[in-house]
Structure formats: structure tokens, C-alpha cells
Structure 1
């Protein structure tokens, strides 16, 4: 893969594109979307520019790709930010203008289904950023979590090394976006257990690659933006799971298949996000949420023991579908220091 290029970051007063590569959910849930836009203006000093399909529910993959192509081509746009994720962004990738985007690299922020675009950009040699959607992080009721705000500000407006830190408090339960009372206070949080380290007797530095595990599985099945496994040797794998809450068995089977492909053993270090363990479809109570997270960790450890037994791994890191959320560079350097129990990324 090409050597990574860090596109220049926006500065206060610059324009940033707001896009919905996976679907126009801002049109269905305007409250968190408008709140996120207001915070981009007020707290980050940026000017959001909305594209035609951003609020358009039912837009085609070709139409959404046209917005992305236009955002990267526009010289006044200094970064591209996803409104939210979804589930069909894989159908957008064939309509993207690879050479146009390669010629006009810009920082892109998104996660979940945006794993598609993150890995598309990685294959072009462009560093992108796993995290920071408008509706979820910027549109969080009450206020941004301080750890989220600090990381997002460093990644969106800054550059250079940034040390991730375990959060003292974490949240998992969300209020409905169509209920005004959801936005009257911050989401409930509870004390965090910190990070869990495995094989933490070494230091690994490598380029970050990964994203949402369910989306990675789809991309592997479609053979979309997946390079020969040897090209991932020495990189740092980062993984998270979504609010669809895959079972521990499913997580193990996805990783097993990655192992059978020869992919897992390429990564000397793995970062695993704290699993999202509550959703409206599975509203687990406290002990059941803890058990779900424990089962998922054991599933990952089982796969690693079989296919990458020497790899260093860190669990329950705050990225992906977590609150707070810290930004992970896709295609940028990550240093995992086991003896010192430190993770440093480069924005």
C-alpha cells in the first residue's frame, strides 16, 4: 500500500463538507443533526456545508458518491465529515472517482459503515479518521463528553502525536432521538473498568488498519478494498462492533475466517473497542451488559490464540460505538506500549 499522506487540517473559519454516504438519516432525525452542526460552528469554529443527499432518505448509491466526489474536488472544502453510518455504503464505492480523490486528499471523519470509505482512502495512501460523526458524537445530548471533545479537536484541527487515555466513566444507554426530553440532559454514565491488556510485554508501532468488524466482514465477502494479506504485515489492527450487537460466536467466526485467510497473523498488535452492549433491540441490564462484553473479549482472545498467539492486544479502548469516543487514525501511525500501558496515535 502507498505510504500514508496526512492531508492538511482545517482551521477555524474553514468550510467542511457534511455528507451522508450511507443514507440521509438527518432528514429523519433532525434534532441531533442540527445540534451537531451548531457545535461544529460554535465549538470548533468551522463552517459546515451540506450536500444534496445529506438529508435525502432514499438517495441512490450513485447520488451519494457524486456528493463525495464533489466534496473532495471542491478547493474550498478542507475536511469531509459523515453525518452518521448505516449499512449499504459498500454499494457507493464503485461510483467514487478514485483518481480525483487521490489528487485532492482531505481529512475524512466517520466510523461504523464508514469503514468502507476509510479503507478506500487507506488504499489510496490517504490517512483518514475513524470517529467523529455529526449526529452521534457532535449531536450528543447535553454536551460532548470531555474525552470525546479533546480527541476530536486534536484530530480535526491539529496534527502530531496524541495519547489515548482510559475514560473514568462510560455510557451505553441512549435515549430516542425523536423524543425532545432526550436532549434535556447528558446520557447516563457509570464508572469504567479501564483497559484490559494481553501479551503486554512489548512495544509495537505500525500503521492503523481496521474499523467496524461487521463491515469488515462484508468487505471481505465482497472482496472490496481488501489487499493481499502480506501487505498488512506489521500494521496495527483496530476493531469495534456496532449497536447491532453481534453474538460472541459471530465475532469469533468472523475473526476465524480472517485467520484462515492469513490476515490475523499479519498484525503484531490489536486494539479492540469496548463493545456496545445496549440497544433498543437488546436493552440489557447492567450485569447482562458486563457479561456480553466479557463474552466478546473471550471470543477475540480465542481467535487470537489460534491464529495470532504472539500478538499484543488491548481491550475496552474508547473508540467506535463508545461514549466517550476517541479518534483512531486509519492509515496513520499507532504506537502500543505494553510495558508502559500507553497507546499513542498520530493525527
Structure 2
């Protein structure tokens, strides 16, 4: 992307309540400050759990993805049920269209991950529009940085070693919030054993609560990428450890982790059970795969955000001294 390009804003899942319109405008201005023109769609209503009926949301998203004047699309945030768009999207048109960046996380992974797997177009699992005004901690990148990189670019991210353990900013009363409160030290954690990790493969993944519903369907067939090896990343939003354990077992049985050279697990605030932690849930479901499993990665719902490009070639390194992921846009 270059200054002057257009960025589309639409809500494939949940829209924005009127009480948060000031934050929405701050986020739009943050994109405009990079020199882009922002185009806001009609599917933005935040009065219900979705922004518009499914056919309208699917039509608007398809129109933006196939509009050659729109170079990136970033929803305000996720939601709960954008799964209803999948059979309504014009997949043939999306395959034939000039590639457009799609950015987001949470429920947006229900669209992001299938879009990469079914069309071969890279997508960015990173901060949503409403998170965009935050200053990016040293070592990390914003989605705005990534979409401006040329084809073939290589970039490395190293987490800051701190995260936000509790709560979220009050955007209603402080719509201009632009500084993360990273109040707790924390590094990546190897779950499957000791020793250094260095793994290579193409990135693919997303939110467990969303992707588990696609396991075993044509929308989550990782075979098109698996020939180069896969670095699969998963993260839990809010479901307890028992539910996440079952979901990961189901995804494994459906072949989602076939070809994995390593698994990255996002840091989570989701609860454990009395006899099962979130880390133990991952090991129970995936420990038998025999590949490194690295947890507490900044690729989930806990700030800060380490954007990952679905389809990109990646090298992941975890040692006693350093955590890093290097991505190549090729």
C-alpha cells in the first residue's frame, strides 16, 4: 500500500454502538494520518450482535474485497457469528480479484483464515481498527506497517516482555487512549519440554473458539499450505480450559495441525478448571504431535499485539535469551 490508497471499514460481525462512535473516529483518523483515504461501509450498526443481515454483510465485504480501488479492509473488531457469511461470499470473484489486504483477529479469523486457504491471498492476523490508535511497543509492528511493505519483504518482531494482565481501556470516556498499560512481565513458554526452538513454515491459524466450528469443512483445509511445513498459531479468547481442550482435540482430529513444524499458542485470560489449566489443555490435545509448542505468544486477545501474516514464510526462535518471529511476504 502507498499513501493515497483507500482503506475499507466494514463489520462482518459486530458493529459499533453509538456510545463508541468517538473511538471509531479516533481510529479512522489514525489510519488517515498514514496518508490513506478511509471508506466506511453501511454495515456498521452496533445495536445488535451483528451489524446487518448476513446477505448485506457478505455483499459489502465481497464488494470491498473485489473493488480495485480499495487496498485494505479492517473491521472495527470481531464479534460472535460472522460464520454465517462463509456460504454467501462470492468465492470465485474473490479468487479472480486483485489481492486486497484483510486485517483483524477474534471472530474475524472466521473469514481471514479461509480467505487465505481458499484463494491464496495473504491476510493479517493483528490488531483491529479500534486498537489501531495505540502506540506500538518497541520490537513489534502495526498492521499499518505490514501492509505498506513490498512483496518479498522480511521483518522480525520481538515481544517487549510485558503484557496487560487485567482489563481494557474505557473507550467511551477516554476515546483517545493511545498508550498500552503493560503491567506484567512475561515471556514465551515452551510447553512440550526444554531446549531451544527454531522452526520454519508458513503461518496459518486464529482464534480457537471460531476456527473449531470450521474444522473438517472445506473452509479450513490447510493442505494447500502444508507442503512448505506449517507454523500453526491458536489462541483462546474466553472459553474455559475444558472447552478449549475439546476444541483443539477436534481440530487435530480434523487434520488442522497436519504438517505443523511448530505450534504457537497465544497468551490468554481465559479461565482454567480446578484440575486443568489452559496450558495443560493445549498439551492434552496437541502434545502427542511431537512438535514444539510455544505458549504465551502475543497473538491473541491480550495486549500487546504481534501481527502474523497468514501464508507468509516464517522462522520462529525461542531460546533462554530471545523470543522472535521473522516473516517473509513471499
Aligned pair in 2 of structure 1 residues 237, 299: CA closer, same or farther (>3 Å)?
Answer: same
Establish whether residue 50 from structure 1 lines up as the match of residue 40 from structure 2.
yes
Pick the aligned partner of 2:101 from 107, 116, 119: 107
Corresponding residue SS for 2:242: helix
Pick the aligned partner of 2:171 from 173, 177, 182: 177
Which residue of structure 2 lines up, in the alignment, with residue 342 of structure 1?
324
Report if the CA contact (8 A) 1:151-1:327 is conserved: yes
How many equivalent pairs are there?
315
Which residue of structure 2 lines up, in the alignment, with residue 5 of structure 1?
none
Corresponding residue SS for 1:129: strand
**Matched ranges for 1:53-72 at <5 A:** 53-55=43-45, 57=47, 58-72=51-65
CA distance in 2, matches of 1:276, 1:202: 25
Report if the CA contact (8 A) 1:148-1:325 is conserved: no
Report if the CA contact (8 A) 2:209-2:236 is conserved: yes
Report if the CA contact (8 A) 1:147-1:325 is conserved: no
**Matched ranges for 1:1-347 at <5 A:** 10-25=1-16, 27=18, 29-42=20-33, 44-55=34-45, 57=47, 58-104=51-97, 105-122=99-116, 123-135=118-130, 137-139=131-133, 143-147=134-138, 150-159=141-150, 160-171=153-164, 172-178=166-172, 180-181=173-174, 183=176, 186-197=179-190, 198=192, 200-201=195-196, 203-220=198-215, 223=217, 225-227=219-221, 232=226, 234-242=229-237, 245-277=238-270, 295-305=277-287, 307-308=288-289, 310-338=290-318, 341-347=323-329
Shift of 1:211: 0.2
My pick for the range that moved more, 330-339 or 265-274, is 330-339
Report if the CA contact (8 A) 1:167-1:318 is conserved: no
Shift of 1:150: 3.1
Corresponding residue SS for 1:36: helix
Shift of 1:46: 1.4
Corresponding residue SS for 1:326: coil
Gaps of 5+ in 2: none
When the two structures are superposed, what TM-score results if normalisation uses the length of structure 1?
0.81
CA distance in 1, matches of 2:241, 2:196: 27
Higher helix fraction: Structure 1 or Structure 2? 1
Report if the CA contact (8 A) 2:207-2:300 is conserved: yes
CA distance in 1, matches of 2:84, 2:44: 17
Corresponding residue SS for 1:239: strand
